[in-house]
Amino acid sequence: MSMSPAQVTNRLVLSARAIIADHWPRAATPDLCPICHWPWPCDPTKVAYTFLRLVGQGGWVPRHARTGAREPHAEGPGVHSPGPSALLAGTQPPDTSPAATGSWS
């Protein structure tokens, strides 16, 4: 059974989101990836966000990283992630693709 291009894109979007959610820093170590133990954003996160930007979803933030949301693997009650703006500030270059800038020349 083959998939349509839209189905492939949707599966890749879900995979990119899963990578970002898994590699998103936890409150205990807000500057490190919990999987890679590299400074955040780690390379897998950068690649996943690059793909999401290409399909127009570059601003996606995992639910557990939104202010007041609980982390999926947190130890004990009341453990919260830092707000997404604190973690994403300055980590993503601006989107300069033709779609974002409107220059298709």
Q: How many other CB atoms are found less than 10 A from the CB of residue 55?
A: 13
Residue 39 has pLDDT above 90, yes or no: yes
Q: How many other CB atoms are found less than 10 A from the CB of residue 17?
A: 18
User: What is the rounded CA–CA span in Å between residue 98 and residue 104?
Assistant: 5
Rounded to a whole number of angstroms, the CA Rg of the chain reads 15
Residue 34 has pLDDT above 80, yes or no: yes
Domain segments of the chain as ranges: 5-94
pLDDT in tens, 56-101: 998 899 988 876 554 444 433 333 344 444 444 444 444 555 555 5
Residue 12 has pLDDT above 50, yes or no: yes
E strands along 5-101, which residues? Answer: none
